[in-house]
Structure 1
Amino acid sequence: MKISRTSGETPQTAPAPQPKAQPAPAPKKPKAEAPKPRRKPKPEPEYEEEDDEEEEEEPHRRRFPVGCLVVIIILALLGFGAYKGLQFYNEVDGGTDLGTEQTVTIAQGSSVSSIATQLKDEGIIEHDWLFKQYVKYSGKADGIQYGDFTLRSGMSYNDIIKTISEVVRRATTNITIPEGTTAVGVAQIFVDAGLVDDVDTFLNCANGTDGSDFSQYDFWNQIPDNGRLMKCEGYLYPETYNVYADEDVYYYVDTLYSEFANKTADLADTIAAKGTTIDDVVNLASFIQEEAGLASEDAKVSACFHNRLESDDPLWSTHILQSNACSYITQDVENNYLWNSPTAEYYGWPEQGAIPEDVLALYDTYAISGLPAGPISNPGYAAIEAALKPDQEYLDEGYYFFVTGHPDTDVAGQYFYAKTADEHYQNCVKAGWAN
């Protein structure tokens, strides 16, 4: 084999040596190969380095499996639903641990919804909506009665429905109180119906003189102690009532007061806006009730009274109400509160021949300025509303007088209004009261 050399050396040829047998050399350990130098990486932007760090750390995080979380939530919901379902079932089915006996009074005409709410409020059941739905879908609503029932908390729904479906009605009676009836007249109605022993028993309760307390009503707390004859006058609301026939007198009086509070509740804002009081409104309304007699005339009569009480006209500077319904007028044709009404008879004034001076000083509307000490009857809602809302036209145009046609004339019951005393006199002639 020829080997070429460079740098000008002359090639030589040597004889090939003969190979000698020699022992095999021990294997040499391979030298550790020198590590190849790494190429220095080019610098990267800072934000990429941060990403690299996050990527390097990512495998070290331990994530909670989302699927497990969903399963746990579902199981929790199922468990809670099962728990509430068991609660509902136990309430419907009842239990062995019953509460003490309670008397629950279901009013006539009560709906299933109101009965369910009542049972919840009185602690018989926990879920009124559940009872309502149970009654609805069980088809037992039509069998529910009204009256007094003995119930206990923990009773099953079926036992409750069975109990309140039994006919245990107490005897009731209807009582009608006409609008404009005096307190004495109202008391007599209850006596005549056999519900109260005597007039004094009713009035003592209604006036609170026997210790009866009606302070749960706002109107009661606003009635001034100004020497009026009766605190209850004006507030025994005229209506037809269906009442229990075997109750005490407080129940009957409270029924009337409750109705008054309910019927006049919507007038509270108007009363406050006008800067007046419920007592002044009822007081004036009692005169409108007596003098008008017809709901269609209430607002006009109210305007005349308002003008008398509030006008700047010098002729009415004393602001005298001038109502024949309450004055020292001894004409039998007039239903005069002091002379010939049930109130006058109750106090015995006609028989005595004179009305006490201290009473006249409080009630004679021809002598005193403004409203009398208290109402003279129990007005209806239309008169109460008219006292607050007089006819605006008659108010603005300055009407002060009114008269109704004499019962024995062709204009009986007709109303005549006037602005001056002369016009009023002419109207009295037309109405058959003057020549």
Structure 2
Amino acid sequence: MWRHIAANALTFFTVALFLIAGLVTWGVSEYSATGPLKEPVCLRVPSGTTMRAVSNDLASQGAILSPAIFRLGADYAAKTDDLKQGSFLIPQGASMEEITDIVTRGGANTCGTEVVYRIGVNRTLAEVRDLDPATGDFVKKAEFEPLGDTVVPTAYEEVRAQPDTTYRIVVAEGVTSWQIVQALNGLDVLEGDVAEVPAEGMLAPDSYPIQPGNSVATLVEQMLISQERILAEAWDQRAADLPFESPQEALTLASIVEKETAIAEERPLVASVLVNRVRDGMRLQFDPTIIYGITRGQGLLDRPIRESDIAGTTERELHGDVLYNTYVVDGLPAGPIANPGRAAIEAAVNPASTDYLYFVADGSGGHAFASTLEEHNRNVARWREIEAERAAQADPEAQAIAE
């Protein structure tokens, strides 16, 4: 009898082992199998959240079928204690194993709410936006001018109180150092003002992730280091026959290129005009240098350029000397007139090989380039015709009188 009982027990134990092994094999397969999610979702993991809460949230969003298997898999992989706070984009069909990796490896948020501060030439904007996981596009919730608007949108105040909101500062190409420092000092997300404005041209236009409480000085230093690196790398790869001898002169030329065109394919062409003029001993005669000579980068010139500005009288009256007006000074101005981006710097040290000496707007947003004054005058005449046509279209009464 005892032998019979022992045999039955052994059989039961063997069957149980096979069942457990099969269950484990099935669980492992389920854990690594393609998930049921039909479209991406954004998973928010607040501080202090447990893996149980995350698994239940994932199940409620249709990302996993079994919270228990998800937790067991995370435990088996020794990742339960590695759960990170943040907002994570869970892609369509992600397996439980892939999701576990996403929520435990950390790093920058990949979805959720973002505040972007855009420092531009004309103004600074703050934009509150959410990533739509289904489309991959950002949906704007609010936009305002943080340095000018007295009423702050409620959406901004709400997301500022959320711990998983991410922040970026985007500096546009062509902004002056003074404008950048003034904007950074005025943002409520940063701390500590910077009194001394860095040298013009030495702050790299780029996108900079930040966190509330970061210091303005630290961010400015990051911009300085970045621009120094960009300039050094470009200078090392410069063309052999440039008519200037220092990285600073290249930066000056790049800043003029940046102010003259925003079209990527035109930058090397504009740079070629500058280089050809310097090489031929011609004055550059670019209007943005006049404006910088007057303002020194501190704000915008809120009026058209006058004959006295072209003659250098205004700059001389304001600053005692003419240093930037390329209608008056020979060669390059005294220094950069804005902060150029990487593309403009690279164009300055590797300009297109052309014989162009002139360019003017062509009416399409770009420019018409010319090698001779005669050709340039024809381009100017065409541009004036376009301007007249646009003025007439904007004022039908004046057009009727003219006819």
More strand by proportion, 1 or 2? 2
Q: Structure 1 length as normaliser, TM-score? A: 0.45
Question: TM-score, normalization: structure 2?
Answer: 0.49
Greater C-alpha radius of gyration: 1
